[in-house]
Amino acid sequence: MDFLTILQELAGGMLTTIRIFILTLVFSLPLGLIISFGRMSKNVIIRTLIKVYISIMRGTPLMLQLIVVYFGPYYIFGMTISSNYRGTAVIIAFALNYAAYFAEIYRSGIESMPRGQYEAAKVLGYNKLQTFFIIIMPQVVKRILPSVTNEVITLVKDTSLAFSIAYAEMFTQAKALAASAHNIIPLIAAGLFYYVFNAIVAYLMEQVENSMKYYE
């Protein structure tokens, strides 16, 4: 089996991996911002609940979270689950996990902003919502972008954990193909895919970071 044929065999899995990656970011980035607000809430109950949530998400393996999200509806509520739910469970587990990490990144960026920024915005007549999204958030994004980039790059590799609930992303297909062909080349092709994918992501994030230097 030549390398081109192997890539064709893995094409479906590659698209699945990209889908997991994109949908996780689409849901986890805004969710992380919402969670960060709860983490900084003056309400002690909300703040404590969010702290517990973040602690659980960051303190337990993502693989375990995938299994709980997939099998939880059956064992906890007695609901019937089907193979079609696997893809949904993967996105839910990944989004909840990465939202916790992004929440802490957002929080650190928001809390690092000088108090004078808020006072100056108030003097200029901005309300709290305008102050946050027009004055604070653009500066926060610039400060947290390197940390977000690290998490995004980690996400590319973490997509392979979907195999834990038998969801056939690219790495799962590569392992199956390597076993059936008695050849390590499919795994090498998988490694090459992850490397190129990460290189593209890192380049794009670097361009975004460079484009924000006008704030300096």
Give per-residue pLDDT as tens, 143-189.
899 999 999 999 999 998 998 887 878 788 888 888 887 888 888 88
Residue 74's pLDDT is what?
Answer: 86
pLDDT grade for 2, boundaries at 50, 70 and 90: low
All domains in the chain, ordered by first residue? 3-215 (1.10.3720.10)
Spatial separation of the C-alpha atoms in residues 198 and 184, rounded to whole Å: 22
Q: What is the mean pLDDT of the chain?
A: 89
Residue 1's pLDDT is what?
Answer: 61
Spatial separation of the C-alpha atoms in residues 206 and 111, rounded to whole Å: 24
36 or 76: whose pLDDT is higher? 36
**Percentage above 70 pLDDT, the chain:** 97
Residue 176's pLDDT is what?
Answer: 83
Q: Determine the residue type at 171.
A: F
Whether the predicted pLDDT of 78 surpasses 90: no
**pTM for this model (two decimals):** 0.88
Q: Which of 19, 33, 66, 34 is nearest to 148 (CA)?
A: 33
What's the average model confidence in pLDDT over 28-49? Answer: 95
Q: How far is CA 78 from CA 73, 120, 142, in A?
A: 6, 55, 46
Whether the predicted pLDDT of 216 surpasses 70: no
